[in-house]
Amino acid sequence: MNTEQQELMKFLEQQLEWSKDRSKILDAINDKLHEMKEIAEFSLTHNLSLNEIHKLNEQLNTLKDEVKHLEKQLNTVVH
């Protein structure tokens, strides 16, 4: 393999790692959003007390913060 081919191979390996990292982050975001959807659907189909609503809102806010954190990670993954 000549130098140009080695550089191309290194570049492609870096791109593959970048893609894998992004995929993991996107999967984690998807999981959090799915969990948020389940909470919202649950709240629509059940007659909840104010305390239960408050707890579910706390869970949603926690998940929202986790998604924001993951999005920041997504934006810092440089290729």
On whether residue 74 sits in a domain, the answer given is yes
How many domains would you assign to the chain? 1
> How many other CB atoms sit within 10 Å of the CB of residue 70?
19
Q: What is the pLDDT of residue 78?
A: 60
On whether residue 73 sits in a domain, the answer given is yes
Percent of the chain whose predicted confidence (pLDDT) is above 90:
91
Residue 39 near residue 12, CB atoms below 8 Å: no
On whether residue 63 sits in a domain, the answer given is yes
Q: What is the pTM of this model?
A: 0.85
Residue 1 has pLDDT above 90, yes or no: no
Rounded to an integer, the average pLDDT of 27-51 is: 97
On whether residue 11 sits in a domain, the answer given is no
On whether residue 20 sits in a domain, the answer given is no
Containing domain of residue 58, as a range? Answer: 49-79
Give residue 11's pLDDT band: very low, low, confident or very high (50, 70, 90). Answer: very high
On whether residue 2 sits in a domain, the answer given is no
Please, what is the end-to-end C-alpha distance for the chain in angstroms?
24
Distance CA 79, CA 74 (A): 11
On whether residue 61 sits in a domain, the answer given is yes
> How many other CB atoms sit within 10 Å of the CB of residue 32?
19
On whether residue 1 sits in a domain, the answer given is no
Residue 30 has pLDDT above 60, yes or no: yes
Distance CA 73, CA 64 (A): 14
